[in-house]
Amino acid sequence: MTEATLINPLDTLVDQFPSGWVKKDERPGYSGFIVEREHLLEFARTMRDDFGFDYLSMVTASDYLAEGKFDVVYYAYKTIGGPALIFKVQVPREDAVVPSLVALYPGADFQEREVWDLMGIRFEGHPDLRRILMWEGFEGHPLRKDWKEPFYEEDVKPYKSRWPEGKPVNADDRNPFNDNVQYPTGFDPERWVPEAETLLYSGLQRTTHNEEFKTDELIVNMGPQHPSTHGVFRMVVSLQGEKIVDLKPVMGYLHRNHEKIAERNTFLQNMPFTDRLDYTTSMSNNFAYALAVEKLMGLQVPERADYIRVLMAELTRIMNHFFATGFLLNDLGVYFTASLYAIEERELILDIFEEISGSRMMCNYFRFGGVVRDVSDEVLKKIHNLVYDRIPRKLDQFDAYLTNNEILRTRCEGVGVLTADQAIALSTAGPILRASGVPYDVRRADPYSIYDRLEFDVITGNHGDIYDRYLVRVAEIKESIKIVKQLLRDIPSGPILAGKPAYQVRVPAGESYGRVEGPKGEMGFYIVSNGKPNPERYHVRAPTFINLTSLAPMSRGEKVADVVVILGAIDIVLGEVDR
């Protein structure tokens, strides 16, 4: 780390490079820098090594059809905290090739594959540039603005066919194999035989020789239907005996192109869709999306609404961490006992969510400029009872149950180790990053809402193994309790929404990125508005999707039985991974 990493050099950044390499992004509402494609690698290396932007948080792209070009957008941060370095590469649509940053930031691996898959931008030098969410035979790149989905009606909602002359069309009668589905030329569904996944299998590392004793080499497909994969998720594992030589995750079985749906929706209509990314953390997802749009609108949230928001986000964290630790035990093979103990607390928190938002899991509670309805004193009393009495008591019980349990420790200590350097390079976030000893928490590193006034510790581990991840989660529950106590003490009265409730919001043109420290890691929404009622570009930085990049490095060299636990400790939800 040089001196330049400690000061903020972004103002004079353009002068640091030869002229023509980098220029400021001066479109109204935009920020950051536009880097020439030829110099991207050089620029990124300088920023990482000399300026300390060691954490590439997000890679995405947006399609500007009218201007005939793509923007590839990078958000890099320093793990010591501070604002983002936003840099972009503009490429023409007909020549969409960008140098890959995987060599510099291995965490860009899946994200670049996602951009290739959905946007059709090729990353030169990427070691394994295959589709990641769509299937290999898929025609086209669905996030391009000129791509149309089956059941396509209009570019944006609300659809004109609904009012004033709306006649329902039965969903069963709408044939998906009709006019606007695109197939590869010469494709015949009757005769189609799926290709053997040669590319996938040949990309796996293999060893042919074992020093100790003779073992066979095997390739095992764990999943897509496998009880330990937390959903429809597949791990292709090459084994030497019982030892894992290499692993490749295969995902996208639950892909529904959330981002395309969102670009058809109006800004407000996206709010309930963000709930459905992750059924355990809907409040945090709402929070991040609301922050992103409010940033564009320049809305100031009333004090009480801010308190309620953080209160809900922290309850979500408590709930999610209980859930994650409970199901970690499930993955270890103790079946449901521990998970059910953990779920009791979750159930009580869900009761609170149901009372204030109307739904246990799909809360849809946040609005731009506040929250939808106030929290009554009875509910605050309930939360009070939970954090002062029940949850600490249960946490102690959980502690006695698990923390010193020899079986848990033997299975978890030293398994799935990720060093601090690896964790940063792989762009992991949340408890995984912190368990590796990196004290990076968005609530502290880049405070949003009222977190700058709250007192809490950023929990870190020492070893970066599964046991540390478990400890970090349990300790974070304690920190969240601490936060909730402060909130209950200080919550002011007052309005809960800035302005009047409006079903159509005016969002000025520009881009914004709102991020929160969700229970699973940095949850972010990248939004581009063109001033119309619908977002031009909407991208989710899904924490578990990016955390999965670390699955293969963590699993190499471990036993095949441990890979289930390693996956469990990442705490994935496939709704968010596949989007």
Partner 1 sequence: MKNFGKRFGVMSSLGVTMGHFFNTYIVDLVKGKKRYRTTEGIEARRQSDTEGIFTIQYPEEQLPLPEEFRVLPFLVYDEGENGEKNLRCTACGICSKVCPPQCIWIYRATDPATGKPSPHPAEFHIDIDICMNCGFCAEYCPFDAIKMDHDFELSGYTRGESHVFGLDTLMKPVSYYESIRPANAAREAAARAEKAKPKA
Q: Is 8 in the site for partner 1 (CB under 8 A)?
A: no
Q: Is 503 in the site for partner 1 (CB under 8 A)?
A: yes
Of 72-80, 155-163, 415-423, 508-516, the segment contacting partner 1 by CB under 8 A is 155-163
- On the question of a cis peptide bond just before residue 158, with omega within 30 degrees of 0, the verdict is yes
Q: Is 457 in the site for partner 1 (CB under 8 A)?
A: no
CB of 168 to partner 1, least distance (A): 4
Q: Is 281 in the site for partner 1 (CB under 8 A)?
A: no
Give the interface size with partner 1 as a residue count (CB under 8 A).
57
Measured between alpha carbons, how far is 210 from 215 in angstroms, rounded to an integer? 7
CB of 503 to partner 1, least distance (A): 4
SS3 32: coil
The dihedral over CA atoms of 386, 390, 395, 397, expressed in degrees to the nearest 10, equals -170
Q: Which of 91, 362, 450, 491 binds partner 1 (CB under 8 A)?
A: 362
Measured between alpha carbons, how far is 470 from 484 in angstroms, rounded to an integer? 21
SS3 76: strand
Q: Is 319 in the site for partner 1 (CB under 8 A)?
A: no
Toward partner 1, which CB reaches closer, 38 or 347?
Answer: 347
Q: Rounded to the nearest 10 degrees, what angle do helices 466-490 and 391-398 cross at? A: 170
Q: Is 139 in the site for partner 1 (CB under 8 A)?
A: no
DSSP state of 432: H
Q: Is 163 in the site for partner 1 (CB under 8 A)?
A: yes
Q: Is 168 in the site for partner 1 (CB under 8 A)?
A: yes
Q: Is 337 in the site for partner 1 (CB under 8 A)?
A: yes
Q: Is 98 in the site for partner 1 (CB under 8 A)?
A: no
Q: Which of 67, 155, 242, 344 binds partner 1 (CB under 8 A)?
A: 344
Assign residue 333 a region (left: φ > 0; alpha: ψ between -120 and 50; beta: otherwise): left
Assign residue 416 a region (left: φ > 0; alpha: ψ between -120 and 50; beta: otherwise): left
Assign residue 449 a region (left: φ > 0; alpha: ψ between -120 and 50; beta: otherwise): left
Q: Which of 285, 279, 281, 303 is closest to 515 using CA atoms?
A: 285
CB of 49 to partner 1, least distance (A): 45
Toward partner 1, which CB reaches closer, 219 or 343?
Answer: 343
Toward partner 1, which CB reaches closer, 411 or 515?
Answer: 411
SS3 408: helix
DSSP state of 548: G
Measured between alpha carbons, how far is 471 from 267 in angstroms, rounded to an integer? 38
Toward partner 1, which CB reaches closer, 87 or 323?
Answer: 323
Q: Is 283 in the site for partner 1 (CB under 8 A)?
A: no
Binding positions for partner 1, 404-423, rule CB under 8 A: 404-409
Spell out where 272-415 has E strands. 366-367, 370-371
Q: Is 273 in the site for partner 1 (CB under 8 A)?
A: yes
Q: Is 175 in the site for partner 1 (CB under 8 A)?
A: no
SS3 208: coil
Beta-strand pair 122-124/97-99: parallel
Q: Is 377 in the site for partner 1 (CB under 8 A)?
A: no
Residues that bind partner 1 (CB under 8 A): 157-159, 161-168, 170-172, 265-266, 268-273, 276, 337, 341, 344, 347-348, 351, 354-359, 362, 364, 372-373, 382, 385-386, 389-390, 397, 400-409, 501, 503
